[in-house]
Amino acid sequence: MGGCTNCRSKSGCDDRKGSMFAAIDDVLAHLYPTRTWGELDPDAALDGGVDDGDVSGLADELAQELDAATFVRPGGDDELCDYVYVLCLGRPPCLIQVRDGGVPVPDEWDAAPDLRELYLRICLSRVARVAAVQQVAVDLVQTTDAGLLVREAPRAGVYDAPLLRRFQRLVALLPAYNLLHLDFGEITTAPRGFAPGAWAELYGTGGAAEPAIANYLFFPQPATTAVTSWIDRAAAAAPRARVATGRH
């Protein structure tokens, strides 16, 4: 495969990335006047990003346009985004539904401890009209009589061929929601001229000393942080805050 230097689309891609970085610079300067991670200006962030209607509307439209199940997961208290998961490899009922949506554990999973599903995970900022997409693998790690271990492992972008067509169609829908798509591979570096604040102490791992652009706009943890969750069988069918939507 040829690199960017020899790509026929390089000129147009460079122009697009140039405008994307200019937009990022403007957004960060507006949201972080002290240019320090963790010092978000609440007045600047107020009503700056998506709301519940945007998130649910996009999830429903993607379910139809991509012919795929979609699921909404609200961000945590320390996150600046909500998430929409698009199921690309796997079938409902799926691991995200059981983990987040109160769906009972299917009996057949006890015989499939190597179950793996692939998703496109859309990060929708609550503080700016921007979105970014990651490829995520969700694995059923272990099953016991008491419950399940489920591991979610995001990547810094979208790489696998079976996901790319849906990814391209997904990105094409974002402008209709007044959302600027940020290439995830371009927002995993630290913004120039910004101070890391307490980020390294709180989240720095693997030698990472500075927060990336993504950490200012979406979530505080490093972009490829894997999360392992325990699902208690007795509680799995109880509705929880993270509700699935779209096609089931």
pLDDT over 70, % of the chain: 86
Q: Is the peptide bond before 93 cis (omega within 30 degrees of 0)?
A: yes
Tell me the per-residue pLDDT of 138-188, one tens digit each, with 9 for 90 and over. 999 888 888 889 999 999 999 999 999 999 999 999 999 999 999 999 999
Tell me the per-residue pLDDT of 70-111, one tens digit each, with 9 for 90 and over. 999 999 999 999 999 999 999 889 999 999 877 888 888 887
Cα dist from 218 to 149, 161, 203, 228, 248, whole Å: 26, 25, 14, 20, 27
pLDDT at 113: 66
Specify whether the CB–CB gap between 121 and 133 falls below 8 A.
yes
d(CA 103, CA 157): 29
Q: How confident is the model at residue 3 (pLDDT cuts 50, 70, 90)?
A: very low
Specify whether the CB–CB gap between 129 and 106 falls below 8 A.
no
Mean pLDDT for all residues in the chain: 88
d(CA 178, CA 184): 18
> Whose CA is closest to 27, among 8, 48, 10?
48
Element holding 231 (H helix, E strand): strand 227-232
Burial 166-193 (b: 16+ CB within 10 A, else e): bbeebbeebeebebbbbbbebbbebbee
**Residue 77 tokens, joined:** 């208290």
Q: Kindly state the average pLDDT of the residues 120-135.
A: 98
Query: In the chain, what is the greatest distance between 2 CA atoms, to the nearest angstrom?
Result: 57
**What is the residue extent of each domain of the chain?**
11-246
pLDDT at 239: 52
Cα dist from 201 to 136, 195, 205, 209, whole Å: 26, 13, 9, 9
Q: How confident is the model at residue 196 (pLDDT cuts 50, 70, 90)?
A: very high
Determine whether 122 is exposed, middle or buried from the number of CB atoms within 10 Å of its CB (0-12, 13-18, 19+). Answer: buried
Q: Kindly state the average pLDDT of the residues 235-241.
A: 57
> Whose CA is closest to 243, among 34, 84, 64, 79?
84
Q: How confident is the model at residue 206 (pLDDT cuts 50, 70, 90)?
A: low
pLDDT at 15: 61
